[in-house]
Structure formats: C-alpha cells, structure tokens
Structure 1
Amino acid sequence: MPIKTSTAAVCPVDYAFKRIGGKYKGRIIWHLHLDGVLRYGALRKEMTDITPKMLTQTLRELEEDGLVARKVYLEVPPRVEYRLTAVAEELIPFIRHLKQWGKRQMDREQARKGSLA
C-alpha cells in the first residue's frame, strides 16, 4: 500500500482534479478548445472575472501539468500564444459532458426559483 503524502495522488480521481480543478482551469481549457490558439490578451477578454496575476498563474500550472503549450515569438512587443496539448484534448469529451450537466442543473434551479416567485 502506497504511503499517503501531501504531494502524492491518493487515487486517480484525486490526481485528475488536482490537475484540472480550480475556478478557472476548466474554462481556460474550454476556450482554448473552442478557439484553437489564443494569445494572452484574447484569454483575458474571454475571462473577465480573473485577474491578470491569476490568469498567468493558472496558465503556468496548466503548462507545468502538460495540458497547455505556450509558444513565445521573439518579436517586439513579444507575442505569446497558448494551445491545448494532445493530453488536454483527451479531456474535451468530459468537459463537454460536465458543461451539459451544469446547464441542466442551472435550468432546473432557475425553474425552481421561478416557481417560487
């Protein structure tokens, strides 16, 4: 039996959510899936509720986890583009399913609130 440490994954579900969990990672992956390649500024426009610092930090984490590829062009001003890796593309069917599930739940909640009014 493996020893549980703070950095070791306890189970595959734990491992997966440590890599894609958080407030912004799923949306970043989804936007990159929809658009293919995005520059930092375009991601900022898509995600209005994230600070520049948090977006940078989240992109770095996704890059470290092998989910996002970053390409820097040696231009002035510098241009940086982000795209999903093949590993991240494997997540898209699951994110799509979560999106559909979330939509159904939001619709049910809205209908429930509407019936209470």
Structure 2
Amino acid sequence: MLVSNVYRPMVFGCRADEPLVEVARWMVDNEVGALAVIDGELVTGIITERDLVGALATSDDPASQQAAAYASTQIRTAELEEDAREVARRMLDAGIRHLPVQDRGRVVGMVSMRDLLALETWTA
C-alpha cells in the first residue's frame, strides 16, 4: 500500500512567529497532533504535541514563546508513491509520529503513525 492511500491531503500549519498558545488551541480545535511551521512559502519545521509539552516543562513563560522556538527543524518527509510500511518503519526508527508528505518536492499533506496503524488494521 502506498502513502497516497492513507495520508491526509491538507497541510495544516502555523506561522513561525505564532504564539504557542495559538498553536495549541489550533491543534485542539482541529484534532491534530502536529503542524507544519511555515515562514512565507517555506515549511521550516514541524511543531508537535511533544514540542508543546517541552515548552511547558522548560520555559518560564511558554505563552510568550513562538512556534519556531520549539519546532523541529530537521524535517523528514514521505513521498506519495512510497510504500506505507517503509515509511512507518522509518518513523519508528526515528521516534517520530508525523511526516509531511511531498509530491515532486511540494508538501501536499501529512501522514501520522495513527494513519499508518489504521491502514494496517483495515488491510490485515
């Protein structure tokens, strides 16, 4: 099965200068665990629930912090035509739960470990 069969074909994102409070609110309102951090037209990072917890644990004033300060900037991606099991393996090896999905170098969506688990459950 391919990533194209399971990914979410929308790029949910926030600005790099977005306050963490707004990032967290957006995640809750839209029931997502990660957002692409966007600076202009570029995806410069990924901010996840784990990153928000890290901000709470380490910042004296997390409400004043911006998304870019806590986002992961080592962006790994999946391609639409990649094998979903291989992508799941890479995610497990890297200890990550969300990957932006690209089509010819352009980010077109996101895939989560939950998406891949659902695929395994429904096709097994």
Question: Structure 1 length normalisation: TM-score?
Answer: 0.28
Structure whose residues are more often strand by fraction:
2
Structure whose residues are more often helix by fraction:
1
- Of the two structures, which has the highest relative contact order with CA contacts closer than 8 Å and spacing of 6 or more? 2
Give the greater-gyration-radius structure (CA): 1
Question: Structure 2 length normalisation: TM-score?
Answer: 0.27
